[in-house]
Amino acid sequence: MPQLSRPESGLFLILLAASLFGFWRRFDKVWRVIRQSKKDPDFRLQPLGRRTADFIWEVMLQGKVISQRPLPGVAHAWVFWGFCVFALITINHFAEGVGFGFLKRDGIFGPFYFGFAAIFAIAVAVSISGLAFRRYVIRPKWLGPLSKESGIIALLIFLLMGTYLATLVHGWEHSRLLWWAHTLTILVFLPLVPHTKHLHLLLSPATVFFKRDTFSKIPPLAGDEDFGLDTGKDITDLISLQAFTCVECGRCTEHCPAANTGKVLNPKEIALGVRGYLNEFGPASDQPLLGVHLSQEAVFQCTTCGSCEYQCPVGVQHLPMIIGLRRGAVNTGKWEDDYGTKLFLNLERNGNSLGFSANERDKFIEKQEFPIFDGTQEYCLWLGCMGGYDPQGREIIASLARILRGLNITFGVLRKERCTGDPARRLGNDLAFGELAESNLETLRASQVKKIISICPHCVRTISTDWGEYGAAPPIEHHSEFLARHLDRLPERTGAGEKIVYHDPCYLGRYRNVYDEPREVVRKFGSLTEPARSRERSFCCGAGGGLAFLGEEKGKRVSAERAEELVATGASVVAAACPFCNTMFRDALAGVSATPPRLLDIAQIAAASFAPEKTVRE
């Protein structure tokens, strides 16, 4: 490096102080907002092992960034790794400004590290150029409107790498011009970070490490005065941290079924809306959250499919925010919707989301000659609303019962069974959900149920996870897990089998991480093919989050969007593993094709291999 004169060192220190002041002035404001937000009552630091593993994979290895968008993900990863490597280079550079540089260009470690950093400098320069080209030339719509700040930051990063590499050219090591060019670039870059979306460089490691410990976790309300996210006072420190961390990359928007079908909801704008509210009103405000910065209409268009949360590379968990905002609107009476009111009344008066009398369920049980669970059978077969009242859902239940009987596995159904409360839970009605959960838990205890099997991923999630606030439920499994475990006992298929496309239900895949089991069942009885979006990237059917009961959608139907992908595979059968997916695709497939494929649940596919049972009593 060049030997700076005392006036130059003095000037450097003044500029460094000004840069740090500009950085801290904004960062301190953000940090104070986070610290002044209400403590998250549900936060637990344990399990540290999982948090550490997530931190290593998502932050240090940039695993999620690369796996979900490989090419731009690798470019972003090189920039991140380059910043890590350049931390020591920058500290040394500042130390050189006052004559205390510790990395020497002679010896062993100094030349090695300068050369090592040069490799990353080249990779960062190439990567940031590629990212800028993508942002300003290719311009994916998910990234949103063009931003000057992104271009300025990209240019500064490129200049940082360029001025560093230039100092490695023989004869330029002691160039004052290069040293000052590199220094000024750093000092301009530093205060820009907390004023832009690039604040995620500082916050995202903490956000990833401290995020909620399970996927799409709905935190319990803290006491009688907690109604959800109603005003600024309800925003917790965890939500504030995540709101300020959002990098606006648009991955959540790209995979959101609402955003893809012409609706108001954009999950990115939920996080940014909370940020905008905090910037304007702060975390101690009594101003309602739904209004200027956040749209009630958008909040109630969410299917809770979890794609946004799964895709986010910086640890933002959108669903607790969205469901929290729903809670705030429903529990305070600010959400007025005729369909929602009807649903809640059905749950309260009839104990099911479809509004049928319990006598209809009793008639179905009697017709199918299902035994009543008395504590001696191995499984309690949970019918659920769809299995107990919906005609297609009943066919799926009958098929599963046929399989259980064929395998000589004993089961019974509850004499009285109410909705698990899933739609009330996702729509934010905690009172209705709590009453249903407590009632069902009491019934299960009284019936001495030890194991439950269900055809509905929504029931499985609600019973296994959400009921935990009110007591421990018996272990429950989805029928795809059961069928896969007993696959070798199922009869072999005859013939080549049909071409079958399998649709991943959101609440079975992203929520429960069950992907292979239903595919194993499909492969046993047919030729499996995959739609354009499958497994973790599966596109929602549109029923979740209570939306199956809220009337006609705005824009294109989510089910139609997905049905087009399923039909495009050319499969003769669409295999589902959720009665809600089944009911959504029933009309959607016919609406997108003159000769639609048959729609079957995996239980129906597997049951067809068994010999016909005696005709049930009419």
Tens-digit pLDDT profile for residues 375-404: 999 999 999 999 999 999 999 999 999 999
Pairing of strands 452-454, 379-382: parallel
* Per-residue confidence (pLDDT) for residue 617, from 0 to 100: 46
104 confidence band (pLDDT: 50, 70, 90): confident
Beta strands in 383-497 (DSSP E): 411-412, 452-454, 476-478
Least confident range of 156-165, 172-181, 366-375:
172-181
Count CB-CB contacts under 10 A for residue 446: 11
614 confidence band (pLDDT: 50, 70, 90): low
Residue 438, CA distances (Å) to 29, 346, 456 in order: 44, 17, 20
Tens-digit pLDDT profile for residues 416-434: 999 999 999 999 999 999 9
CA–CA dist 63, 313 (Å, integer): 9
452 vs 225 pLDDT, higher one:
452
Torsion-angle region of residue 295: left (phi > 0), alpha (psi -120 to 50) or beta?
Answer: beta
| Helical H segments across 249-314, by residue range | 251-255, 267-280, 296-299, 307-311
* Per-residue confidence (pLDDT) for residue 392, from 0 to 100: 95
Q: What angle do CA 532, 535, 538 make, to 5 degrees?
A: 55
φ/ψ of 600, rounded to 5, equals -135, 145
φ/ψ of 312, rounded to 5, equals -60, 125
Q: What is the side-by-side strand order in the sheet with 411-412?
A: 411-412, 379-382, 452-454, 476-478
Question: Domain ranges in the chain?
Answer: 6-36+69-195, 232-330, 353-483, 485-607
353-483 under CATH 3.40.50, yes or no = yes
Cα–Cα nearest to 164, from 147, 154, 152, 179: 179
Average pLDDT over residues 159-168: 93
Residue 136, CA distances (Å) to 130, 132, 133, 139, 154 in order: 10, 6, 5, 5, 11
398 CB-near residues (< 8 Å, 6+ apart)? 368, 616
Question: What six digits make up the tokens of 417?
Answer: 């069974």
Count CB-CB contacts under 10 A for residue 356: 16
* Per-residue confidence (pLDDT) for residue 233, from 0 to 100: 96
618 confidence band (pLDDT: 50, 70, 90): very low
Cα–Cα nearest to 274, from 53, 37, 102, 42: 37
- Residue carrying the six token digits 């089998």: 497
For the chain, the distance separating the N- and C-terminal CA atoms, rounded to the nearest angstrom, is: 93
* Per-residue confidence (pLDDT) for residue 121, from 0 to 100: 96
Q: What's at 557, amino acid-wise?
A: R
Residue 531 CA, chain-centre distance (Å), reads 20
DSSP 421: S
Q: How many helices (H) and strands (E) does the chain have?
A: 26, 8
Tens-digit pLDDT profile for residues 480-514: 999 999 999 998 876 567 899 999 999 999 999 99
254 CB-near residues (< 8 Å, 6+ apart)? 140, 142, 311
Average pLDDT over residues 320-334: 96
CB–CB of 121/161 below 8 Å? Answer: yes
68 confidence band (pLDDT: 50, 70, 90): confident
Q: Is 343 helix (H, G, I), strand (E, B) or coil?
A: helix
Residue 81 buriedness (CB in 10 A; 0-12 / 13-18 / 19+): middle
pLDDT at 526 over 80: yes
Classified by CATH at the fold level, domain 232-330 comes out as Fumarate Reductase Iron-sulfur Protein; Chain B, domain 2 (1.10.1060)
> Would the CATH topology of 353-483 be identical to that of 485-607?
yes
Average pLDDT over residues 64-89: 92
Question: What CATH number belongs to 485-607?
Answer: 3.40.50
Tens-digit pLDDT profile for residues 530-540: 999 999 999 99
Average pLDDT over residues 78-107: 90
φ/ψ of 62, rounded to 5, equals 55, 35
Tens-digit pLDDT profile for residues 583-601: 999 999 999 999 999 999 9
H/E/C letters for each residue in 569-603? Answer: CCCCEEEECCHHHHHHHHHHHHHHCCCCCEEEEHH
pLDDT at 7 over 70: yes
pLDDT at 100 over 90: no
* Per-residue confidence (pLDDT) for residue 171, from 0 to 100: 78
CA–CA dist 331, 356 (Å, integer): 25
* Per-residue confidence (pLDDT) for residue 1, from 0 to 100: 65
* Per-residue confidence (pLDDT) for residue 538, from 0 to 100: 96
Sign of the Cα torsion 414, 415, 421, 423 reads positive
pLDDT at 616 over 50: no
Q: Using N-to-C axis directions, what is the helix angle for 176-192 and 6-36, rounded to 10°? A: 20
* Per-residue confidence (pLDDT) for residue 496, from 0 to 100: 60
Average pLDDT over residues 60-85: 92
